[in-house]
Structure formats: structure tokens, C-alpha cells
Structure 1
Amino acid sequence: MTLGLYVHIPFCRHKCLYCDFPSYAGLERYCQGYVEALCRDIAASPYTGEGADTVYVGGGTPSMLEAGDVSCILKTLRQTFCIASDAEITIEANPDSLDYDKAAALADCGVNRLSLGVQSFSDAMLAFLGRVHTAAQGEAAIQAAYAAGIHNLSLDLMYGLPGQHLADVRRDVERLSQLPVVHASIYSLIVEDGTQLKAGLEKGTWHLPPDGTVEAMGKAVHDAMHGYGFHHYEISSYAKGPFESRHNSKYWTYEPYIGFGVSAHSFDGTTRWANIANIPAYIHKAGRESVVAESVAIDAKRAVEDYCFLALRRRVGIDYGDYARRFGKSIEADFGPVIDGLIRQGLLERTERGCCLSEDGLGYGNYVFSKFIR
């Protein structure tokens, strides 16, 4: 078993309008105790000695941490797990907390990939979203990271935002193409429960672009990214050459990963579990007693369902041979009529190894996925 390791940093400077992630502003006083708790939690892992080939430090805003704290976390991971010499080690960063010195210090710790949360190159849109950086700071952070020697750079953008137009999305992608990034996650906005954005939309304070406009935005992103030399390898993910996210790919290819920190999720191949969400409780318990809040055993019925809809997020889709090796039966035995029906609808298409979402199916992913939930 080769693991992916995830570390969650829940702190941020400001809660963005659209965010429903477990992240909290104004709790920096807990940072030092939290890092110490993380290291205890990691050191006490029952998976001590297992091999790992990806590390992902996400949040929140991990770049708020001092480089010394990141170094401590990574050192503890290396002492606990057999981390491959060529492991992909990613940290998420926001432009307001990343400059050349910080990027260089992170590189010295062993970080070799950065994921930059830019979201937009429009200052007006950034202000609306509650981002605490400007477009110029976003570009400067990317250039600083590259100059510091981290060349595996990923950038996040969003489309389908209130007040956003097709021309804005095209400009965002064009500006992305002028930067030294080799990976991009470009998301269509999902309005989540409990967010400030949803509350404002329900009150009529803001309005989303029409569905047809959002579809045109998605097509514009897809066409432009191909033109700029990126290949589309997952619903929201684009990469140049070999720079697909190795860590995120573990989620989509049904591989095991272990999470540390509040609200972190894990999957060992047979069980999924999530940690407690309360920061003080986590600090008190980590490394001393269980921090698991909920756990679900994945039975054979759910395993095949999860495998299929996760695999279909990737453009290569489902590999029938891999399915048979994993589950000891053909996919046709479980989902033959479902697959045939989606192919007739034009939402799936056959490949040399199995099937994948068609170009039309990309816009109806959730509908397709739901057909594999029995």
C-alpha cells in the first residue's frame, strides 16, 4: 500500500463568500498548539512505516504558517512514514501570504509543488468574493514561487460567479497562460449551503449568470486551455505534460490516503473516516486519544459505486480491466444496462479500455454519477 498523506490547516485571514471548507478566520492564537498537535497525531499514526509518495498540505491557508512550522510537520511525516525520494509535496498558498522569501523557505523544507488560490484576475471580483489579495499580487506570488525554484505550480480559478461575464473568463484564462504554471484547477461555482453567497442569492442581493452563459464559460475555458498547451485530465483540472496532480489523482483512482488535522478525511481501501472539527478539542486529543468523529465501512455494494463515479471524473474514465481486477467480476455484471443507457443518451462514450464522459457528458457529470448509485 502506497499512501497519499493529507494535512489540514484550518486557519485563514478572511472567510470567503463562497467557502464551505472547514476553515476559520481570527483563530491564529491556536496555530502553535495546533502544529504541535498535528505532529503528535502524525507520530501516533497506526500506519507508521507505510510507504507514501504524495503529501498535500491544504486548508484554509497553509501559507499562513511560518516555514519552520511547515518544516516541523514535514519532518514528522518523514520520521513516521517511508516517503519516496521523488514524492510530490504540495502546499496550498494564498497570494497575500506568499513572497519570494516564504517560497524559498518552503522549498528548503522539501515542498516541490505549490497550489495558488488566485480565483480571479479581476480586482472587482476578488473584492466581491472576499479575497484579501489583488490580481497583481496573485501574479507576483506565482512569479516569486517560480523564482524561488518551485516550478510545479498550480493555479485555481472560478467561473459562473455573480456579475461575471464570458469576456471576464476569457481574460482570466489568457492571463493564466502568460504565467509559469503547469497545472490549473478551474471550477464552475457550486453554491454551498451555509455560505454567505447562498444567503445573498436567496435574498436576491446577487444573481448568478444564466445556465447558458455558464455553459459557454466552461466551453471557453476548455477550448482556450487546450490552445495554451494544457490537457484536460479531470472535470476541473488541466495540466501540461506530466504535471497532473499525483495526490488528487489518488482520490479519483480509489487509492488510499490518510488525513491529519481537524475535519481531515481518510480512506484505507475498506473504511472512510473523518476527524473531529473542533480545533481546541483536536489540540487536546491529538496523539493522546482518538480524534475520529465518524467512520464508515465500505461494503462491496458501495465500493463499486464509489469507484465508478470517482473514475468518471477523470477524462480517461473507467478501465474495465482494472475494475475486474479489483472486484473480481466484470463491470457489465454490475452496471451494463446503466452504461448502455448513458451511451445511448450521448453522455458516455466507449474507449479502448472502457468508457468515459463524452464532451456533452462533462456538463452533466452529477447526473451521470447518480446513475451509478443504486
Structure 2
Amino acid sequence: MTSLYIHIPFCNRICTYCDFNKFLIKNQPVDEYLDCLVKELETIPAELDTVFIGGGTPTSLNDRQLERLLQFIQSHFRIAAEFSMEANPDELTASKIHLMKLYGVNRLSLGVQTFDDELLKLLGRTHQSVDIERAVDTAKSSGIQSVSIDLMYHLPTQTLDQVKIDLEKALELDIDHISSYSLILEPKTQFYNQYRKGMLQLPDATLAADMYRYTISRLAQSEFKQYEISNFAKPGHESLHNKVYWQNKEYYGAGAGSHGYIDGQRYYNIAPVPHYIKAMHQGDAVKEVHAVSREESMEEFMFLGLRLNEGVSKSIFSERYGVTIESIFGEVLQQLEAARQIVVAEDRIYMTEEGRMVGNDVFEKFLLSV
């Protein structure tokens, strides 16, 4: 069995920081898109471990459209473990959460980002802080098994005190999972353009590091355990779907701009909705296929797996590639261990907290082609 990511590329508003494949839903051929999406989903094997519906904003679909998609997924697939869906707090109506529960969604991921209304406005979010508690209450009362929220730090004008307040409010919600991401300025976003023009001031690197350290420290004092660089969960509530990516396992992707990793090949779908629809009418929407080399797979095994607090397994590496991890990365491991950025144990290699603070620098060391 494997996993499946489904992309809904529509939003009611475009956020200022987002570089995902997304389009304003107004005047979009949503029903025709769903026709094509279902056609693509029909080609995917029915036995799955996890399914994740992301976007865009899946809850930008109306009730009829959402039910159509969820009904097909329930009838076509047998999902062994986890069925997750993203939602915006202000779009999570009682009727939509009822449909999610009815058709088997057992994990909800809410795009909260912050509880500060001024920062929410700056981010281009459509919800306010009052919508967050209502959405969480609605989800929990419906019987959804696990509720997660996304938070962001290193935001324009954001202070450490604001990060502290966000974390306290998140903990008050009594949810199961928190993701906390640092803002990254991505090209073609509004924030990126404003920054290039000198119109956007971000907290400096030292303050951003303090925000991250505080997040780790505060959540460690609660029931949450950090299990990945940006992710914290109560026992039994880690994101099984996302761990598929970090453990470099294979998965399917469906929808405009989605990508998958099957039989040692990464494939990428056409991103613009009209082009995706046209391609699906003609056969399939795959734009590009890349055969992952043994060297690339080893690199990915390391820099994806090291994102997890548990790190990577030496024995699994040996089973997968027929060589020891030391024979490929021995010099790099010695350097990073000497710098106290990783720990090399009997069977596992994992990053220290200091290593996680400079994670991207650590990951780059495992690029064999550089």
C-alpha cells in the first residue's frame, strides 16, 4: 500500500506569502476540474495507507462539490490509516464538517497561521481569531479524531511576545497537533515583491531563531512532542501522511500541479487548471517524469529523513542501497558530528537541536553531486 495527495487549486483569496499552485475560485470551471480529477483518481490503486486533500483551499468548494469529491474517495479507495483534509477556519461550516465526518475524514488541518488579527490581515487571510476557536469546536464536536493547526513565525512586524501569545492560545484549544513554520519569501508572491522594493521588514535572523527556540521549549513543556523540524504532536497524533514524504517512501499525486513518486520515478502534473483539464480530456495530465537515480535517492533519504527527530536508520539505508551509510557519507558524518549538529548512534543518525537551527546547511552537506 502507499499514499495519495489530492490537490484542490482554488482559493477565495490569494494569501500574500503563498507560492502553492492556486487560483481564485471565482469564474473557475470547478465542476469540470472535479470531473477530470475523478478521472485521474480512477487510475490509482484502491488500497491506500493515507490520503491528504490539500490546496489551494479544499474548503473553497461548495457543499455539493465537496460531497461529490468525498463520496467518490470513500467509494473508490480503502484507506487503512489516515484521511486528512486542509481547511480555512472561516470556511469550516457545520455542513462541511458533517460531510467530512460522514465520508471518513479523520484528521483535519486548519490553516490558522496566527491569532493576531492585524497579522492575519497582513497575510491576506480571510479569517479572524474568533473564527479559529469556533472552527476547532465544530471539528471536535463532530467527532473528527485528530485536529491540527498551522502556525507561522518570522512574520513582518511580528515580535517574540506575539509568538508566545499564539502558542498559549493554540494550547488552550486542546488540539492534537501543531505545525510551526518560519516564513520563507518565495518568488512570485506579494511578500517577495514587497521585500524586493524595500516595503517589507522582517524580524532579523537572531529574533527568528529565538522564536523557533521558544516554540520548541514551550511545546516541550506541554503534552506535545517535537517529531520533525516544524511539527509537534501529542502521542499517537503524528501526521502519518507527511511522514511518508520524510521517510522517502512512494506516493501518488492527483490534481493540477500535484506530483507523485512511484516506481522510482517522480512525476509532475500540469499546473494551470485549463491546461490540466484539456490534458485530462486527451489522456493524462503528467507534464514531466524524472527517473530518480540511486545517488539522488541516497541524498533524499538523508536530507528528508534528518528532518525527523528520530533521524535515519543505518540498517534501512543498507537494506535499500546495499552499502553502509558510512561508506557513502562517512566524511560528512564526521564533520557534522564534530560540529555537534548530528548524533551518530548505533543504528540511527539524527540532528541535535543545534543542527535543527541550521537545518538547511546540514542537508546541503549530503548532496553528493556538489
Provide closer, same or farther for how the CA distance between residues 69 and 58 of structure 1 changes in structure 2, counting only shifts above 3 A. Answer: same
Deviation of residue 102 (structure 1)? 1.8
Counterpart contact for 2:113–2:150, Cα < 8 Å: yes
Match for residue 218 of structure 1 among 172, 194, 212: 212
Task: Write the distance in 2 (CA, Å) between the matches of 1:28 and 1:257.
Answer: 32
Q: 1:176 to 1:3 in 2, by over 3 A?
A: same
Q: After TM superposition, list the pairs within 5 Å mapping 1:137-176 onto structure 2.
A: 137-176=131-170
The CA distance in 2 between the partners of 1:188 and 1:366, in whole Å, is 13
Structure 1 window deviating more from structure 2 (256-265 vs 93-102): it is: 93-102
1:105 aligns with 2:99: yes
Q: Secondary structure at 1:110's aligned position in 2?
A: coil
Deviates more, 1:94-103 or 1:305-314: 94-103
Q: 1:235-273 deviations in whole A, cap 9, x for unaligned?
A: 100000010000000001111110110000100140001
State the partner residue of 1:73: 69
Structure 2 unmatched ranges of 5 or more: none
Aligned equivalents of 2:75, 2:329: Cα separation in 1: 44
Q: Which amino acid aligns with 2:45?
A: T
Structure 1's unaligned 5+ residue stretches are none
CA contact (8 A) 2:153 2:211 kept: yes
Which one of 111, 114, 121 corresponds to residue 117 of structure 1?
A: 111
Amino acid at match of 1:34: Y
**Counterpart residue type for residue 56 of structure 1:** F
Q: For each residue in 1:289-318, what CA deviation from the matched residue of structure 2 results, as whole angstroms up to 9, or x when unmatched?
A: 121111110111111011111100101111
Say which is worse superposed, 152-161 or 221-230, in terms of deviation. 221-230
- Segment drifting more, 245-254 vs 59-68: 59-68
Cα distance in 2, alignment partners of residues 316 and 217 from structure 1: 23
1:184 matched to 2:178: yes
Q: 2:344 corresponds to which letter in structure 1?
A: R
**How far does residue 146 in structure 1 lie from its aligned partner after superposition?**
0.7
1:134 to 128, 148, 172: 128
Distance 1:165 1:262, change over 3 A: same
SS in 2 for 1:15: coil
Match of 1:296 in 2: 290
The TM-score normalised by the length of structure 2 is 0.96
Show the counterpart of 1:48.
45
What code does the residue aligned with 1:147 have?
Answer: S
TM-superposed CA distance for 1:129, in Å, is 0.7
Question: Is the 8 Å Cα contact of residues 42 and 287 (structure 1) preserved in structure 2?
Answer: no
1:225 partner SS: helix
Asked if the contact 1:348–1:361 (Cα under 8 Å) also holds between the matched residues in 2, the reply is yes
Contact kept? 2:147, 2:177, Cα under 8 Å: yes
User: Superposition pairs for residues 201-240 of structure 1, below 5 Å?
Assistant: 201-240=195-234
